[in-house]
Amino acid sequence: MTKVLLDTDPGIDDAQAIAYAIAHPDIELVGLTTVFGNASIDITTANALKLLDYFGASEVPVSKGAAVPVVQAPRPHAYFVHGDDGIGNLDMPPSPRDTSVFPAPEFIMNQASLHRGEITLVAVGPLTNIANALELDPSLPKKVKELIIMGGTVDEPGNVSPLAEANFLGDPHAADRVLSQSWPVTIIGLDVTHQIMLTDTHLASLRDGAGKTGQLLWDSSRFYVDFYTQSGAAKGGAEPACAMHDATALVYVHERDSFGTTHGPARVIEDGVAVGQLAIDRKHYDYSLDHWEGRPPTYAAMTVDAEHVRRAFLDTIIKGHRV
């Protein structure tokens, strides 16, 4: 059983990831920590509580995290992608539950200490909470089993600029800080997530086979699919679809043989025209600039068996959420 702590900004694709984590028989979801990103921190936190309640996992604690980046001014939230409520304008009722008494950085630090060497930390939003947790406990990388990040892009064009992916643009200083640390870290970025499309046919299989969870994933996806089909990576496809971003990072936990990676010391550009760009030294040439020297290797997924990963996602949710 893998203990997973999910740092998230729900978010339509976050809802898919949360449903998958709950359904997987070999994942123990020890908590959600929330961060700004797809919506404001108040909305993403409320959504985390609502979704856990709806998916039948109200025992999972939620810890509220960062409202703004560590350095740069806040950028506009992606309401045009995820809707005014962050989950496709479903107008779900509020949860009666409250968040943990511990702010997200403390919750991450406490869980890593309590379950030393056992926590797989999966971050699918801006990396602000992870960076803040490092400030509290610089030994954090030695306490977690691994860090899996949905963010960044190496060769694939970005989705918020030609060079940048949304989570890394959301807090580039935090991302660069996180990638400076010596821990097992794998980036699941647009290089692979843009290869894994969930078409309306796939989403309908969840609606028809995964009970009320499948219905919510279908309903919330209507707004998301419209965006991706009209303006995003699914534009021009044979069928309306959306990219399977955040859930891919969760699928990687147990299906990593379906991914091929590259690695090297990594930087995230903190300002200027390339702000948010992930830059990995994959060749190890004798460069005239030393900004990458002394940094530990970061692994980034570059290839994927898209059909296998998509099928693992769909099958897991259908088997785990039949009612």
Active site residue 245: yes
Per-residue three-class SS string for the chain: CEEEEEEECCCHHHHHHHHHHHHCCCEEEEEEEECCCCCCHHHHHHHHHHHHHHCCCCCCCEEECCCCCCCCCCCCCCHHHHCCCCCCCCCCCCCCCCCCCCCHHHHHHHHHHHCCCCEEEEECCCCHHHHHHHHHCCCHHHHCCEEEEECCCCCCCCCCCCCECHHHHHCHHHHHHHCCCCCCEEEECHHHHCCCEEEHHHHHHHHHHCHHHHHHHHHHHHHHHHHHHHCCCCCCCCCCEEECCHHHHHHHCCCHHHEEEEEEEEEECCCCCCCCEEEECCCCCCCCCCCCCCCCEEEEEEEECHHHHHHHHHHHHHHHCCC
Separation CA 243–CA 103 (nearest Å): 31
- Catalytic residue (choose from 245, 284, 291, 308): 245
63 φ/ψ angles, rounded to the nearest 5 degrees: -120, 125
Positions marked active-site: 245
